[in-house]
Amino acid sequence: MQDAPLSQDKPILAIRDLHLEFHDHGRPEVVVEDLSFELRRAEILGIVGESGSGKSMTALAIAGLLNRHALDCSGTILFDGVDLLHCGRATLRRYQGDEISMIFQEPMTSLDPLQRIGMQVEEALRIHRAELSAAERRKMAIRAMAAAGLPDPEQVYGMYPHELSGGMRQRVMIAAATVLKPQILIADEPTTALDVTTQAQIIALLRTINAEDQTAIVFISHDLSLVRQLCHRVIVMRKGVAVESGASDEVFRNPRHPYTKALVDAIPKVVLER
C-alpha cells in the first residue's frame, strides 16, 4: 500500500447517479443502480464484487464502450467538463485511448492476432497524434513497451501475439493503453487469466505506472486480496448497488456491511503457526 494521494486533489472523474438498465424483451433488468463516486488524480480505486455486481458495466460506461441502444442509461459521468454518458461519438473518440484507456481480462482475445505487436501499440498514436512521423511513433511505442516491462522491446515490436506468453501479452496491452500517458486507466480483471507469479508482476507494474505517470487507475476485480494490495480506495458492489466504500485497508479491516463481511470471510485463510 502506498500513501493515498492528497484528498484535497480535485476529482478528475465524477460519476453521479449512474443508472444502467437493460430492456431485454420487455423485461427491464437493472445492472447499475444510482452509483456515485469520484476518482481523484493519481488515485487507484478498486471496484470489487462478484459476477453480476455491475462492476464491469461500470467500467465499460466510463470507457464509453456501452452499447447505448441496448441500454437505458441515466446520470452523468463527468470528465474534463464533458458528460461521457451522453456526449456524441466524436467527443467520446477524442478521449478514448488518449485520456482514458482500458485493459481487459483476456490477453488472448484483446489483441488482433493478425497484426504485429508494434502496430497495435501504435494504434492510439495513429489516431490521436496523426502529425507524428513513423519513426517518432515507433520510438514512443518502444518506450511504452520498455516501460511496461517487455524485455527486448525492439524485437517484440515486430512479433505477433501468438509468439508471446499470456503475461507478455498483458504487458503489450498495458503498453498500448499507456502509450499516450492517459489520465485514467481502467483495468477490468487484468490479472484473472494469468498465473499467480505473473499476476504479482502485473500488479507491481500497475503500481509503477500510477506512481511515475500519476495515472489514476480504476481496478475492477473479484479478488479482494489483490484489491487490498493495490488500491487506495475501494467500492464494494453487489447486484448493481455500491454497498460500501472507503479507504481499502479500513474497509477490509473493519467491514461494516454484512456483504463485505461475507466477502472478507470467504477469502481462504492460511494460518501457519511457527
Q: What is the rounded CA–CA span in Å between residue 217 and residue 249? A: 17
- Closest to another protein by CB, 110 vs 215, is 110
- Read off φ and ψ for residue 37, nearest 5 degrees: -160, 170
Q: What is the rounded CA–CA span in Å between residue 56 and residue 133? A: 36
Contact between 149 and another protein per CB under 8 A: no
Contact between 274 and another protein per CB under 8 A: yes
Half-sphere exposure of 145 (CA within 13 A, CB side): 25
- The answer to whether 35 and 242 have CB atoms below 8 angstroms apart is yes
- Closest to another protein by CB, 200 vs 241, is 200
Contact between 24 and another protein per CB under 8 A: no
- Closest to another protein by CB, 6 vs 267, is 267
x-marked contacts with another protein along 31-70 as a string, rule CB under 8 A: -------------------xx-------------------
Q: Which residues contact 77 (CB under 8 A, 6 or more apart)?
A: 13, 14, 15, 18, 61, 62, 83, 84, 85
Q: What is the rounded CA–CA span in Å between residue 110 and residue 117? A: 12
- Of 26-34, 112-120, 121-129, 264-272, the segment contacting another protein by CB under 8 A is 264-272
- Of 28-36, 58-66, 126-134, 189-197, the segment contacting another protein by CB under 8 A is 189-197
Residues 195-234, interacting with another protein (CB under 8 A): 195-200, 222-225, 229
- Residues binding another protein (CB under 8 A): 50-51, 166, 195-200, 222-225, 229, 262-263, 265-270, 272, 274
